[in-house]
Chains A and B, each alone.
With several copies, the nearest count.
Chain A
Amino acid sequence: MENTILEMQFAIDTFYFLVMGALVMWMAAGFSMLEAGLVRSKNTTEILTKNIGLFAIACTTYMVYGYDLMYGGGMLLDGISGQGDKYSNAADFFFQVVFVATAMSIVSGAVAERMKLFAFFAFAVIFTGIIYPMEGAWTWGSEAVFGLFKLADYGFADFAGSGIVHMAGAAAALAGVLVLGARKGKYNKDGSSNAIPGSNMPLATLGTFILWMGWFGFNGGSVLAMASKESANAVAMVFLNTNAAAAGGVIAALLLVKILWGKADLTMALNGALAGLVAITAGPDTPSALVATLIGAVGGILVVFSISTLDRVFKIDDPVGAISVHGVVGLWGLLAVPLTNADVLFTGQLLGALTIFVWVFGASLALWLVIKAVMGVRVSEQEEAEGVDIAECGLHAYPEFTVK
């Protein structure tokens, strides 16, 4: 009978992993819709293709090599079937693989509307197969960084990946945007910046809601156990705090833009929700609901200023605001952990953030430059003007509607 009980614990934890994993997989749809809503309609088919393609690539490269690199166990998930002590290893892989896809999705929005599709896919193969698993091994995989030092020894912790997933994605995105340059027409000769509105706000909103929902899996699943009172309570607090932080992000961003510009800028409210979610991700288990709301609210405020500053001061053209949402706020998320978690040190968080950023940014920059040299990263001016949809995919997203 004891065995039956152990088996049931195994079953509950496995089931929990699978449900959480399915929710994270759903985030792929969220990124697709968000990005499809925030680009112009002439670049929509391409970004949809990019998103479904990158998800498929991430699932495959991580299976072939990435999971082994990050957690060991053998290439090609050698013999994963039917194994696992506390839960099915296959369920663990399923949960982990959707994380790497999330990191990659972050890149896709930032380089939208001007990158060659297959240059992006080439990047995705290496990023999901090597760059991300490397830093994943140093953090969640508990390996020493290049065999030198272990981040955990310095009091670093990143519960569900504000840094490991989100800031990493943003670092790769930043490298990409720097290599790629701004969209034609984004900046004027005098250096001022033009607004280039996205084409479909309901899609962007839908994408945000999908991400919000999926994030319950992202953070909730990162407790890694469910079948005891302690872990069940932990998962429940994580759900509660994840939701609270998103709410805080929306409210803060909405109030701020209303005060700054007198209007309730929807796109900033959406970014506020995502910022709240990114901010809480590094430590959704320790704060109270009120503190979680505040951590999210700070994220919501940061994101508004960050988007404006990157755009207007640094001339970094990020059509969906991914670098701000996932990078700047991801860093905030890491730094906020010590506020409510005594086991985590501020210096450890800084060291961890630095390690992740330097590695991912450096490796990505090198990779983007290699891709640029080999096949080029940017479509021609003519193709960009007509929209990458026709050039790369041969099809308009809304063939029947009259568009600019």
Chain B
Amino acid sequence: MKMITAIIKPFKLDEVREALSEIGVSGITATEVKGFGRQKGHTELYRGAEYTVDFLPKVKLEIAISADQVDSVVETISTAAKSDGEGKIGDGKIFVSNLEQVVRIRTGETGAVAL
């Protein structure tokens, strides 16, 4: 099994979730995170003092899947998370890592069936 971790722009969350649902992904865990990357933060103003906010709001998705789903999931996220369908700086990253075991707490099931 694999764990897909995707960092995306917050307003893309619904679109990505729907696209993943359509290809049969049944579970996602989402976290609000702050991202630092090539996309530069914006300038804020407080009582006459300007300052740069380096960390931009992003959403992190963690999706556990079986190994054979990796390509379609990565593909789906890539497409849905791309700004205006073409890609803008800061659209985010997808990380793939290995997952050794999964347990469903409710039933105690393990492995792919627990996803």
Contact = CB atoms under 8 A, between A and B. Distances in A.
Contact of A197 (B43, B46, B48): B46
B46 A395 contact: yes
Given A194-B51, A195-B51, A404 B10 contact: yes
A311 B46 CA distance: 12
Given A385-B11, A402-B32, A404-B10, A307 B48 contact: yes
Contacts of B42: 386, 390
Contact of A321 (B11, B32, B47, B57): B47
Contacts of B89: none
B45 interface: yes
Contacts of B43: 394
B44 A260 contact: no
A125 to B, nearest CB: 24
A267 B44 CA distance: 13
A403 B11 CA distance: 12
A307 B11 contact: no
Contacts of A321: 47
Contacts of A312: 49
Contacts of A195: 44-47, 49-51
Interface string B59-81: 00000000000000000000000
A261 B50 contact: yes
Contact of B46 (A267, A304, A385, A386): A267
Interface string A277-292: 0000000000000000
A194 B43 CA distance: 13
Contacts of A311: 47-49
Given A385-B11, A402-B32, A395 B48 contact: no
Interface string A252-296: 000001001101010110010000000000000000000000000
Nearest to B34: A402
Nearest to A264: B45
Contact of B47 (A267, A396, A402, A404): A267
Interface of A: 193-198, 257, 260-261, 263, 265, 267-268, 271, 304, 307-308, 311-312, 321, 385-386, 390, 393-396, 399, 402-404
Given A194-B51, A197-B46, A268-B47, 19 more contacts: A193-B49, A194-B49, A195-B44, A195-B47, A261-B45, A261-B50, A265-B47, A267-B46, A267-B47, A271-B47, A308-B48, A308-B49, A312-B49, A321-B47, A395-B45, A396-B44, A403-B57, A404-B10, A404-B32
Interface of B: 10-11, 32, 42-51, 57
